[in-house]
């Protein structure tokens, strides 16, 4: 998505008002929910639930959507219809579409940033070196001091593979904080941030402690290779079978 006027304003702010952005994003999501319900003939009960769920997304986006939905939709109205569920929860999750481009654009105004792949930052006025398609992502990560990971809005539970890929390349991972991250990395193995100024502070930490990347890579090679993960998985399956 292209930036709104609120987003453009906050890109110039060294401590951006994310709350203001989320409020404006919520207004758009409410309108989208109404359009979906009107086009599809969805009744008042699921519409109300979707609006309530969207309201929780504004302030509690780090809690998985299904966990919040269970507290609101105690009778399982939305999950009773898969098509309706996908459309309405998709609308709620769309509130997060701005986070990735905003993060990259904000950082690009304060430090050097490069990206690879086919994504575009059209309209964001981001000062980013576009590498395009790369044969080896590891080589691309090694061009910088850290690799950035901001997960997609629809991936609201768990952690994706990017932090492991970045760490295995020998670079530190700069990662928007996720629930469950502590089960994979210790605090001195990853640069986690809740607010964007913390991301810049984390990059400065690398200058004082470049061994962050070394500790992370050692962790990956010790605990998170396919061999190590398969061994743990096999033990768990055998335990269930024995029970």
Residue boundaries of the structural domains of the chain: 5-96, 99-233
For the chain, what is the largest distance between any 2 Cα atoms, rounded to a whole number of angstroms?
Answer: 59
In the numeric block, the tokens 């809005």 are attached to 153
Q: CB atoms < 10 A from the CB of 46, how many?
A: 22
pLDDT for residue 217: 96
Alpha-carbon span 153 to 97, nearest angstrom? 6
* pTM for the whole structure: 0.90
CA distances in angstroms from 197 to 42, 171, 204, listed in the order given = 42, 20, 11
Per-residue pLDDT of the chain (243 residues; tens, 9 = 90+): 899 999 999 999 999 999 999 999 999 999 999 999 999 999 999 999 999 999 999 999 888 899 999 999 999 999 999 999 999 999 999 999 999 999 999 999 999 999 998 888 999 999 999 999 999 999 999 999 999 999 877 777 778 889 999 999 999 999 998 888 888 999 999 999 999 999 999 999 988 888 999 999 999 999 999 899 999 999 999 999 988
Distance CA 234, CA 212 (A): 31
β pairing state of 128-130 and 191-193: unpaired
Work out the angle at residue 24's Cα, subtended by the Cα atoms of residues 99 and 119, and round it to the nearest 5 degrees: 30
Tokens of 177: 């904080």
* CB count in 10 Å sphere of residue 238: 10
Q: Indicate the fold that domain 99-233 takes in CATH.
A: Rossmann fold (3.40.50)
């Amino acid at each position: 998505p292209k930036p709104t006027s609120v987003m453009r304003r906050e890109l110039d702010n060294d401590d951006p008002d994310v709350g203001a952005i989320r409020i404006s994003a919520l207004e758009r999501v409410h309108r989208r929910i109404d359009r979906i319900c009107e086009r599809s003939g969805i009744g008042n009960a699921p519409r109300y639930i979707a609006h309530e769920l969207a309201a929780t997304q504004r302030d509690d986006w780090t809690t998985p959507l299904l966990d919040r939905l269970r507290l609101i939709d105690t009778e399982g109205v939305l999950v009773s219809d898969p098509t309706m569920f996908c459309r309405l929860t998709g609308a709620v999750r769309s509130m997060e579409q701005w986070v990735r481009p905003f993060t990259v654009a904000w950082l690009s105004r304060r430090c050097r940033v490069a990206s690879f792949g086919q994504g575009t930052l059209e309209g964001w006025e981001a000062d980013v070196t576009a590498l395009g398609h790369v044969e080896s992502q590891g080589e691309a990560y090694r061009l910088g001091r850290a690799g950035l990971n901001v997960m997609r809005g629809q991936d609201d539970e768990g952690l994706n593979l990017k932090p492991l890929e970045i760490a295995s390349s020998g670079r530190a991972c700069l990662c928007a904080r996720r629930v469950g991250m502590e089960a994979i990395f210790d605090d001195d193995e990853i640069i986690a941030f809740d607010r964007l100024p913390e991301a810049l502070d984390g990059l400065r930490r690398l200058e004082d402690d470049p061994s962050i990347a070394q500790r992370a890579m050692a962790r990956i090679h010790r605990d998170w290779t396919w061999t190590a993960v398969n061994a743990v998985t096999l033990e768990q399956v055998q335990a269930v079978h024995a029970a």
